[in-house]
């Protein structure tokens, strides 16, 4: 593990002061977080900072606030009313800049549209939209009236959309006539039409015009947004919700087939995110932030929408693909807007590494002050490439570890408040108020430099309220592995300096290009193909995407493997889940290696897919015999596998 000390010039605290602050935050967590919370606008102060009834935490109980007020209203009362809130860049080069006052007007009008559609406090609204300002405005409009939004990534299929809409029983679905992706139109309305036939809870569909594609909008159930805006009021009183009123539900993959609806609060979530944002990204009034994530994921929710806007910052949103129409697109955008903070994923960095540094160096990226990475471990080579070629060897890199469930960043360098040395590939130390550790199988702290499981040892304000409609699954998934601590599902190592190195998932969840995909969810999709009886999905190391998807599928009796069948399976998965789930490799097998108890031996399949040895078998969790595994491995290697 290499070390790199970088003397960054930021408004940081001396190391000792920072470490004291960290220590104090753990000794007096409630005082610490209350002080952070006071920096937000509350209409009623909380009665209690934390109610911790494990595993359920409730922060700032009795406090009342409104997220849209915090993100918009409070800025329009200041000089920031004329400050740009959003720089939006369309894929085809069209652009829009929305000031805080414009955003305020639009959020109010959209909130009025929602009200006029019969949406009220506590109702669920599904947003299936491309990366356009309307998505963000609708999120804030929902928050304004106390409605709970669920953003469904616009790359998901009709089935995936319907599953999520049905799980939350959404009353309203908001979509667009289409979205642009690599110059093509993604027919979102048509996909939504297919989904809605399976969603009885949806009373109304609103359609945003983006691509001018010919779509049918069947009144009265469906309406164009533009028509509804004609009757919209210019002001809607913000609903003052209790701190633990859900702000949103966001689906993420787990180890079983059904995605989990992660529920986030309003108060705790905003407090955590606002604090983390200023510590990690060195908040400055004149900064221009660009987080390249899609708003359909938690990174977009927290780092494009809620944290920057709550701070009155300027945030860049780009609609399209990173390398479309040319591989210079992103660097053009940084140059065009004078981006100062650039936050992206290791997959994107590795993709650009593949194109060579020349195309980056052609651009003036001197506005950049800080770089960030999220979503997967960043390998030291990618870190260095990013640091040298994009950051010009002057910008610190914040490698931020967090999850959909944590709501906000948990482990990361904090150039806004400290100047500890960075290490390439380590997310460094936990944020103030956050206590994490690495434990072994027995739940005891793992020895230094030894791989163990990442755990969070105390509640934190951005912590999920739970899994929508399934408290048992919440308890089981996060709180049953080790008593009293939150199990993150990641492998990690703690080094001699107490720095954390997150190594990847410890469960059956893949990280493909930073997207979190459950193998069980994929297996469900594969076996729903009419010619397949059984399947197992594993990840294969990929030099760019981190992991790629490999499917082992057993065909029904009498069905012959063929290239067409493989293509058909890929199309089927695309339809069931979406393009992000399309496998890179498919193996048709005559049987899957299983333990005596009938469990698929994933380890064997992983070794086959990765062309590695099955390795050390002594740590195998299941009771299957070593010979059994070796036999299965050899059978698969010796020709029973027919590679595509
Ligand atoms: C992984 C994304 C290493 C990890 C915000 C985690 C990371 C999962 C990092 C959550 C990082 C995220 N280093 N791994 N800096 N950040 N991960 O819910 O496996 O989409 O559990 O949230 O991404 O993914 P999610």
- How many whole angstroms separate alpha carbon 306 and alpha carbon 287? 16
Structure confidence by residue, pLDDT tens digits, 562-574: 999 999 999 999 9
Query: How is residue 381 written in tokens?
Result: 């080579």
In terms of Cβ atoms closer than 10 Å to its own Cβ (0-12, 13-18, 19+), residue 90 is middle
Residue 637 is predicted with a pLDDT of 66
Mean pLDDT within 428-432: 97
Q: Is the C-beta atom of 501 inside 6 A of ligand 1?
A: no
Whether 482 and 537 map to the same domain: the answer is no
Q: Using the predicted structure, report yes or no on whether residue 387 has a pLDDT greater than 90.
A: yes
Residue 644 is predicted with a pLDDT of 39
DSSP state of 322: T
Phi first, then psi, for residue 294 (nearest 5°) are: -90, 145
Least confident of 407-416, 479-488, 522-531, 594-603: 594-603
Q: 323: CA distance to ligand 1 center in Å?
A: 23
Ligand 1 pocket test, pick from 292, 463, 487, 502 with the greatest ligand atom count within 8 Å of Cβ, gives: 502
Domain boundary among 504, 536, 564: 504
Residue 621 is predicted with a pLDDT of 44
Q: Tell me what the pLDDT averaged over the chain comes to.
A: 92
Structure confidence by residue, pLDDT tens digits, 274-296: 999 999 999 999 999 999 999 99
pLDDT band of residue 8 (cuts 50, 70, 90) is: low
Nearest to 279 by CA among 5, 634, 10, 548: 10
Q: Is the C-beta atom of 300 inside 6 A of ligand 1?
A: no
State the Cα torsion 518-522-524-529 to the nearest 10°.
180
CATH number of the CATH domain containing 569? 3.30.300.30
pTM reported for the whole predicted model? 0.93
Mean pLDDT within 23-37: 98
In a domain, 167, yes or no: no
Structure confidence by residue, pLDDT tens digits, 66-89: 999 999 999 999 999 999 999 999
Number of domains composing the chain: 2
Whether 465 and 546 map to the same domain: the answer is no
Q: Is the C-beta atom of 377 inside 6 A of ligand 1?
A: yes
Structure confidence by residue, pLDDT tens digits, 190-246: 999 999 999 999 999 999 999 999 999 999 999 999 999 999 999 999 999 999 999
Q: 96: CA distance to ligand 1 center in Å?
A: 31
Ligand 1 pocket test, pick from 403, 426, 488, 504 with the greatest ligand atom count within 8 Å of Cβ, gives: 403
Residue 619 is predicted with a pLDDT of 47
Residue 258 is predicted with a pLDDT of 82
Tell the residue nearest (CA) to atom 23 of ligand 1. 375
C-alpha Rg value of the chain to the nearest Å:
24
Structure confidence by residue, pLDDT tens digits, 511-524: 999 999 999 889 99
Q: Is the C-beta atom of 399 inside 6 A of ligand 1?
A: yes
Q: Using the predicted structure, report yes or no on whether residue 617 has a pLDDT greater than 50.
A: yes
In a domain, 15, yes or no: yes
Structure confidence by residue, pLDDT tens digits, 447-478: 999 999 999 999 999 999 999 999 999 999 99
CATH number of the CATH domain containing 351? 3.40.50.12780
Residue 623 is predicted with a pLDDT of 42
Q: Is the C-beta atom of 489 inside 6 A of ligand 1?
A: yes
Q: 403: CA distance to ligand 1 center in Å?
A: 5
In a domain, 79, yes or no: no
In a domain, 327, yes or no: yes
pLDDT band of residue 7 (cuts 50, 70, 90) is: very low
- How many whole angstroms separate alpha carbon 606 and alpha carbon 454? 22
Q: 41: CA distance to ligand 1 center in Å?
A: 30
Q: For residue 489, which atom of ligand 1 is closest to its CA? A: 21
DSSP string, 391-439: TTTTS-EEEEB--TTT-S--B---TTT--PPB-TT--BSBPTT--EEEE
Whether 572 and 474 map to the same domain: the answer is no
Whether 472 and 603 map to the same domain: the answer is no
Whether 355 and 490 map to the same domain: the answer is yes
b/e burial code for range 59-76 (CB count within 10 A of at least 16 → b): bbbebbbbbbbbbbbebb
In a domain, 220, yes or no: no
Q: 375: CA distance to ligand 1 center in Å?
A: 4
Domain coverage including residue 614: 508-643
Q: Using the predicted structure, report yes or no on whether residue 334 has a pLDDT greater than 70.
A: yes
Note whether 112 and 161 are within 8 A (CB): no
Whether 347 and 470 map to the same domain: the answer is yes
Q: 431: CA distance to ligand 1 center in Å?
A: 16
Query: How is residue 387 written in tokens?
Result: 């640091």
Tell the residue nearest (CA) to atom 5 of ligand 1. 403
Whether 326 and 473 map to the same domain: the answer is yes
Q: Using the predicted structure, report yes or no on whether residue 643 has a pLDDT greater than 60.
A: no
Q: Using the predicted structure, report yes or no on whether residue 158 has a pLDDT greater than 50.
A: yes
In a domain, 519, yes or no: yes
Mean pLDDT within 87-95: 94
Can you say whether residue 50 is alpha, beta or left, with left for phi > 0 and alpha for psi between -120 and 50 degrees? beta
Top pLDDT among 635 and 318 is at: 318
Q: 566: CA distance to ligand 1 center in Å?
A: 31
Q: Using the predicted structure, report yes or no on whether residue 100 has a pLDDT greater than 60.
A: yes
Q: Using the predicted structure, report yes or no on whether residue 589 has a pLDDT greater than 90.
A: no
Residue 13 is predicted with a pLDDT of 74
**Taking the chain, what is the end-to-end CA distance rounded to the nearest angstrom?**
38
Q: Using the predicted structure, report yes or no on whether residue 434 has a pLDDT greater than 70.
A: yes
Whether 497 and 528 map to the same domain: the answer is no
Domain boundary among 504, 539, 566: 504
pLDDT band of residue 620 (cuts 50, 70, 90) is: very low
Note whether 214 and 353 are within 8 A (CB): no
Nearest to 277 by CA among 248, 315, 247, 303: 303
Percent of the chain with pLDDT over 90: 84
Strand partners, 516: 511
In a domain, 155, yes or no: no
Whether 454 and 554 map to the same domain: the answer is no
In a domain, 27, yes or no: yes
Whether 331 and 452 map to the same domain: the answer is yes
Note whether 164 and 148 are within 8 A (CB): no
Q: Using the predicted structure, report yes or no on whether residue 111 has a pLDDT greater than 90.
A: yes
Whether 489 and 529 map to the same domain: the answer is no
Residue 639 is predicted with a pLDDT of 54
Q: Is the C-beta atom of 252 inside 6 A of ligand 1?
A: yes
Note whether 434 and 410 are within 8 A (CB): yes
Q: Using the predicted structure, report yes or no on whether residue 53 has a pLDDT greater than 60.
A: yes
DSSP state of 82: G
Q: 469: CA distance to ligand 1 center in Å?
A: 24
Mean pLDDT within 112-121: 98
Note whether 322 and 292 are within 8 A (CB): yes
Q: Three-state SS for 144?
A: helix
Residue 630 is predicted with a pLDDT of 63
Q: Using the predicted structure, report yes or no on whether residue 632 has a pLDDT greater than 90.
A: no
Residue 572 is predicted with a pLDDT of 96
- How many whole angstroms separate alpha carbon 90 and alpha carbon 92? 5
C-alpha distances out from residue 235 to 96, 114, 120, 141, Å: 23, 13, 16, 11
Domain boundary among 485, 504, 523: 504
Beta strands in 330-392, from DSSP E residues, in sequence order:
341-344, 370-374
Top pLDDT among 15 and 386 is at: 386
Query: How is residue 582 written in tokens?
Result: 């399309």
Whether 314 and 412 map to the same domain: the answer is yes
């Amino acid at each position: 593990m290499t070390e790199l000390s970088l003397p960054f010039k930021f408004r940081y605290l001396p190391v000792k002061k920072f470490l004291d602050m960290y220590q104090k935050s753990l000794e007096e967590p409630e005082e610490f977080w209350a002080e952070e919370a006071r920096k937000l606008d509350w209409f009623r102060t909380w009665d209690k900072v934390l109610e911790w009834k494990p595993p359920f935490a409730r922060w700032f109980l009795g406090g009342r606030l409104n997220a849209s007020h915090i993100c918009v209203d409070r800025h329009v009362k200041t000089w920031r009313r004329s400050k740009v809130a959003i720089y939006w860049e369309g894929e085809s080069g069209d652009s829009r800049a929305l000031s805080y006052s414009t955003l305020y007007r639009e959020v109010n009008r959209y909130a009025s549209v929602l009200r006029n559609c019969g949406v009220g406090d506590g109702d669920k609204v599904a947003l299936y939209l491309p990366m356009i300002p309307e998505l963000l405005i609708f999120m804030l409009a929902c928050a304004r009236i106390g409605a709970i939004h669920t953003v469904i990534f616009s790359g998901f299929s009709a089935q995936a959309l319907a599953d999520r809409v049905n799980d939350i029983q959404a009353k309203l679905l908001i979509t667009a006539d289409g979205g642009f992706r690599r110059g093509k139109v993604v027919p979102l309305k048509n996909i939504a039409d297919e989904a809605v036939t399976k969603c009885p809870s949806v009373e109304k569909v609103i359609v945003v015009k983006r691509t001018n594609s010919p779509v049918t909008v069947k009144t009265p159930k469906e309406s164009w947004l533009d028509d509804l805006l004609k009757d919209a009021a210019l002001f809607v009183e913000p609903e003052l919700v209790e701190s633990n009123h859900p702000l949103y539900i966001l689906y993420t993959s787990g180890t079983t087939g059904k995605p989990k609806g992660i529920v986030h609060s309003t108060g705790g979530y905003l407090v955590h995110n606002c604090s983390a944002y200023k510590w990690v990204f060195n908040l400055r009034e004149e900064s221009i932030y660009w987080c390249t994530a899609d708003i359909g994921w938690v990174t977009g929710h927290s780092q494009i929408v809620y944290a920057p806007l709550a701070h009155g910052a300027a945030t860049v949103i780009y609609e399209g693909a990173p390398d479309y129409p040319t591989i210079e697109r992103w660097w053009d955008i940084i140059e065009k807007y004078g981006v100062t903070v650039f936050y992206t994923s290791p997959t994107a960095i590795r993709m650009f590494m593949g194109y060579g540094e020349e195309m980056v160096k052609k651009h003036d990226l001197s506005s950049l002050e800080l770089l960030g990475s999220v979503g997967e471990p960043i390998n030291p080579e990618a870190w260095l490439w990013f640091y040298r070629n994009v950051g010009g060897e002057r910008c610190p890199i914040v490698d931020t570890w967090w999850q959909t469930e944590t709501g906000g960043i948990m482990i990361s360098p904090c150039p806004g408040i400290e100047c500890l040395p960075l290490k390439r590939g380590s997310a460094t130390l936990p944020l103030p108020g956050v206590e994490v550790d690495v434990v072994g199988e027995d739940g005891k702290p793992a020895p230094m430099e030894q791989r163990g499981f990442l755990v969070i040892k105390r509640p934190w304000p951005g912590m999920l309220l739970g899994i929508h409609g399934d408290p048992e699954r919440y308890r089981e998934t996060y709180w049953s592995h080790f008593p009293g601590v939150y199990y993150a599902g990641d492998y990690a190592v703690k080094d001699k300096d107490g720095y954390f190195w997150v190594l990847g998932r410890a469960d059956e969840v893949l990280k493909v290009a930073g997207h979190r995909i459950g193998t069980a969810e994929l297996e469900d999709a594969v076996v729903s193909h009419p010619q397949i009886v059984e399947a197992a999905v594993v990840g294969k190391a990929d030099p760019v995407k981190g992991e790629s998807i490999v499917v082992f599928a057993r065909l029904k009796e009498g069905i012959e493997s063929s290239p067409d069948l493989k293509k058909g399976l890929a199309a089927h998965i695309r339809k069931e889940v979406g393009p992000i789930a399309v496998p890179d490799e498919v193996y048709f097998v005559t049987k899957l290696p299983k333990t005596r108890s009938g469990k698929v031996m994933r380890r064997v399949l992983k070794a086959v897919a990765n062309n590695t040895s099955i390795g050390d078998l002594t740590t195998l969790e299941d009771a299957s015999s070593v010979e059994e595994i070796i036999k299965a491995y050899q059978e698969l290697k010796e020709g029973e596998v027919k590679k595509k």
